[in-house]
Structure 1
């Protein structure tokens, strides 16, 4: 159980740092216009909110510390 907490905590910590330092983004494709089988699409790069990265850092740190300091 301790190892699982530590691994999940480290993954969340790393992902949170990745987002906070500006590398976390995803693409979203929207259909702008469609006429029959022809359609016009637009692709946008969206940034993952910074607060989500900070939350990942906090939760990841707590899970890692909890896994390392647990008695069992």
Structure 2
């Protein structure tokens, strides 16, 4: 169980750092005009909000530290 906490924490830490560094984005597609069965769509790249990256770093660090503290306490 402790190993899973550490692994999930490390993944969240890495993802949070990736987002805060400005590399996280996703594509959003919206329909501009629709006439019958024909539609004109536009795709935009949007950045993932920085607060989400910071939250990932904080939660990831808590999980890693909690997993390591439990692992060290057990020894």
Fold match, TM over 0.5?
yes
Matches of 1:31 and 1:59, distance apart in 2: 36
Map of 2:41 onto structure 1: 41
Structure 1 gap ranges (5+): none
TM-score, structure 2 as length reference? 0.93
Where is the helix percentage greater, Structure 1 or Structure 2? 2
Q: Is 1:68 paired with 2:72?
A: no
Cα shift readout 1:15-39 (whole Å, capped 9, x = no counterpart): 0000000000000000000001111
Instruction: Work out the number of aligned pairs and report it.
Output: 72
Map of 2:4 onto structure 1: 4
Map of 1:13 onto structure 2: 13
Cα shift readout 1:11-69 (whole Å, capped 9, x = no counterpart): 00000000000000000000000001111000011100001100100000010000011
SS at match of 2:22: coil
Structure 2 gap ranges (5+): none
SS at match of 1:61: helix
